[in-house]
Every structure is written in C-alpha cells, then in structure tokens.
Amino acid sequence: MKSMVALAFGIVLAFGQAAPTELISQPNPSALEQKLREVRFDLRIENGRYTGSAALVLEDAVDRAQYVLIGEDHITHEIPQFTATMCDEMARHGLSAMAVEAGPQVAKFVSSSFGAPDRLVRMAALTHQYPDSVAFLNIREENDLVEHCSKVASHSNFHLWGLDQEFLGSAGWLLDQILATHLGPASRSAITHLKGEEQRDAAQAKETGDPSNLFLLSASDRALSDVAALLQREGSPAANALFDELVESHEIYLKNAQRSPESNSRRARLLKQNFRRNLQATGDPQHQRVLLKFGDWHLYKGFNPLSQRDLGNYVAELADGQGSTSLHICILGAKGMHRMYAGYDRPTKVERFVMDEDRDYRWLKPAMDNQLPNAWTLFDLRKLRFHALGADPNMERLIYGYDLLIVIPEVTPADLIQ
C-alpha cells in the first residue's frame, strides 16, 4: 500500500503526493454496510490450505485466473503466509513466475540463491555491504516466500521478476557491477569517479541518517548524462543496462523529492514495461501463469488513488486482450504493528496503527466494522458492483478496482534479515 511503502520503508518517496482523501458524506451508509454483510466470508489457513466459507470463493476465482494480483499492506508476518498458500493453489494448475516490488538486480540476486543453504546469509552480507539497497526481499518472511513459491512451481523454469526501480542505497552496488564488466578506459575512469562520489554521499547519509544525501538523489543529471554517452561508445550491453537502471531510479527518486507527480507516472510506466519485457522473454506469453505481489495502490484496475493507471490496470487490460482473466485481491490489516524506516543504515522501529484512522484509509471503516469474529474476513467486491450503495468515492474505486478484499484483524511485523 502507499502508506506502507512510505511508513514501513520510509522511502523518501511516499509515491505519494497522495490525492487528498475525499471524506464524502454517505447518504445511505446502511446500504453499503448491509451489502458488505451479504458478501463476507470467513477465511483461515490450515495445513497450507485455505479453509472457511471463503475457501471455495478463492479457489474458484484463482482457478479461472491467468494472473493473480495481491495488493498488500507491506512487511507483515501474515500476508506472506497468505501468499505462500496462493502459490500452492496456483501451482496445482501451473505457476510460471512471480513479480514483486523490488528491482531487477535484487530479484536476480535472490533467484541465484534459491535452494542454497546460505540463502539468508548471502542477503545479510549484501545489505551489510550496501545498506538500503534492497526493498522487501531483505525481509525474512518475504525471502522465505519467494523461495517457497520457486519450490512448489510445477516446472523448473519458474522466474522471479523484479519490476521496480532499485532501492535508495543501491547505487554503489550497481556501479560495482558495472566496474566488473568490460569497459573502455574513459568509461572505466568515469564510473570509478562516480563510485567515489557515491561513497562520499553514503558516508554523509550514514552520519546524518538522511537518505536524501544518497547518490541516487544527489547525483548530477549532467554527470549521469555524460557517463551514459561514454558507455554507449565503450560499454557492454550489460553495463549499459545496469547504468540505465541507475539513471531511471535516480529520476524517480529525484522527481518524488521535488514533489512532482511525474515520479508516480514514471514509476508506473517502469513497472508495466518491465512486466512486458519479462513476459515476452518467456517466448510464450499467452500461457504464462503469473502471481504479482505489490503495495495495494499499484494493483487497481482503472485509476488508482494517485490518479495513475498503474501495473494492475495494465495486467487487467492485457488479460482482456488475451481472452484470459486477472484476479485482483486487496489484503490489509485492520490494526497491528508496522515496521518503519528510521533513516539510512539505521535500525527500523515498530509502531502501532489502526487502518481506518489513517487519513488515506478512513473510508474503509464500513468494511473494518463488518469483520467476522475469530477469522479473517473476505469481501467479494464483485457482488457490490452496479448497486446504489451511497459509498465514499474511494470505496467505489476499490469495489471496481479490486475483485476481493481480505481484512486481517491484526497484523504483526515481519523481520529483517540480519
């Protein structure tokens, strides 16, 4: 979700100049609440299977879908458990790939450690050498999740796709990877110079804790442009691809720091373009069955709360064009503890939250107030469409943007790999 990317990781980006929450009075709130009670089902996970009255709803919807999209509340213990069970369910009829909210280089690194006994040790070493270079896959539960999904996939060519920009502290890692390629003398000198600047920026950010001091925000556009031109002449395709990732990440973070809505637009385009490239690289895009897991604002059909047509809309339209189906599931905690960013290379902190007290989610109160006792609650949003419910516009957008809403009564924070 938007606020969890901002709260849990504190990305200078809240991706995030959020549209003001529309607190519209509801002319007939009882109509919405009555319908919510009619479309709610209890959900539990037992022995790796969905149980409760929601199980049949989920299993039927998943079996029909080529693409399953899970829009989440980040960094919880419970949602990876739900997603691992989803991998099990999808794998029964084939699971080709999983797309996650991390950069391509992180996904490649994690994929290379699948099945390795020192998988978590490798991640800890990477994040120690390059602090804040990894989003989400440096969380134990998330790393265990993608390992699990790779194991249960029904064929050996399962792929993990990182679709996002690289994370705030990743510039040093990217530059070191470029230096490990074959470079001409001028481009090697230029990359070495940038590496020196990156190290000075990282030292300053470590001293202050302020991620805005990092190279991905402070780098000179002119310097990056000059080095890009050098690499075009002297660098390998691999070096150019890595530098392109660095530049794109820089542009997204810089525009967000400038509070430009272009940051969100550019990020949404990157997610869609990376999804398309990965899908086409399989050689058989019509028959790939893909699970996507991102913050909930990314996976709406139509316009999301940031007024963007984001990845979820792209996948929904793609499925329509292919004559297949996408299933969009929003899963959020009603309350609990969130792990929050505390500054560059700083230990995280944990804070309590109540979802419908968040200014961006107050409109969810009717759903939060209509949870079933002693279980998670699944609301089948498809059955709420084309009714006069008098709902807040944000709730209307959710009803048409997602197919299912799952509310977990209380979530607990996941753990960093250290």
307-351 pLDDT, tens digit per residue, is: 999 999 999 999 999 999 999 999 999 999 999 999 999 999 999
> Which DSSP letter does residue 344 get?
T
Residue 276 counted as domain residue: yes
- Say what the pTM is: 0.93
159-162 vs 290-295, strand pairing mode: unpaired
Per DSSP, the three-state class of 247 is helix
Report the alpha-carbon distance of residue 271 to residue 180 in Å, rounded.
Answer: 27
Residue 414 counted as domain residue: no
Are residue 11 and residue 93 in the same domain, yes or no?
Answer: yes
Are residue 292 and residue 401 in the same domain, yes or no?
Answer: yes
Report the alpha-carbon distance of residue 154 to residue 371 in Å, rounded.
Answer: 35
- The domain tally of the chain equals 2
Cβ 47 vs Cβ 410: under 8 Å? no
Are residue 218 and residue 268 in the same domain, yes or no?
Answer: no
Report the alpha-carbon distance of residue 279 to residue 314 in Å, rounded.
Answer: 13
Are residue 154 and residue 185 in the same domain, yes or no?
Answer: no
Residue 301 counted as domain residue: yes
Range of the domain at 385: 2-167+261-408
Residue 313 counted as domain residue: yes
Backbone angles phi, psi at 17, to 5 degrees: -80, 85
Are residue 142 and residue 209 in the same domain, yes or no?
Answer: no
Cβ 311 vs Cβ 100: under 8 Å? no
Are residue 278 and residue 193 in the same domain, yes or no?
Answer: no
Q: What is the pLDDT of residue 39?
A: 98
Per DSSP, the three-state class of 294 is strand
Q: Tokens for 122? A: 């490798």
Cβ 331 vs Cβ 50: under 8 Å? no
The H or E element containing residue 293 is strand 290-295
Are residue 51 and residue 180 in the same domain, yes or no?
Answer: no
Report the alpha-carbon distance of residue 191 to residue 86 in Å, rounded.
Answer: 43
In 10 A of CB 23, how many CB atoms?
A: 11
Are residue 154 and residue 210 in the same domain, yes or no?
Answer: no
357-362, Cβ contacts within 8 angstroms, sequence gap of 24 or more: 358/3, 359/21, 360/2, 360/3, 360/18, 360/21, 360/305, 361/3, 361/332, 362/21, 362/23
Cβ 394 vs Cβ 117: under 8 Å? no
Residue 413 counted as domain residue: no
- Select from 257, 272, 305 the last residue of a domain: 257
Are residue 193 and residue 266 in the same domain, yes or no?
Answer: no
- Select from 209, 239, 257 the last residue of a domain: 257
Residue 45 counted as domain residue: yes
Are residue 238 and residue 320 in the same domain, yes or no?
Answer: no
Residue 339's beta-bridge partner residues?
350
> Which DSSP letter does residue 166 get?
P
Report the alpha-carbon distance of residue 280 to residue 237 in Å, rounded.
Answer: 19
Backbone angles phi, psi at 42, to 5 degrees: -85, 140
Are residue 77 and residue 202 in the same domain, yes or no?
Answer: no
Cβ 306 vs Cβ 297: under 8 Å? yes
Closest CA to 290 of 238, 325, 263, 241: 325
Are residue 243 and residue 276 in the same domain, yes or no?
Answer: no
- Select from 228, 257, 286 the last residue of a domain: 257
Q: What is the pLDDT of residue 155?
A: 62
pLDDT in tens, the chain (418 residues): 543 334 334 344 444 444 444 444 444 457 999 999 999 999 999 999 999 999 999 999 999 999 999 999 999 999 999 999 999 999 998 999 999 999 999 999 999 999 999 999 999 999 999 999 999 999 999 999 999 999 999 666 899 999 999 999 999 999 999 999 999 999 999 999 999 999 999 999 999 999 999 999 999 999 999 999 999 999 999 999 999 999 999 999 999 999 999 999 999 999 999 999 999 999 999 999 999 999 999 999 999 999 999 999 999 999 999 999 999 999 999 999 999 999 999 999 999 999 999 999 999 999 999 999 999 999 999 999 999 999 999 999 999 999 999 999 999 999 999 9
Residue 416 counted as domain residue: no
Q: What is the pLDDT of residue 1?
A: 52
Residue 418 counted as domain residue: no
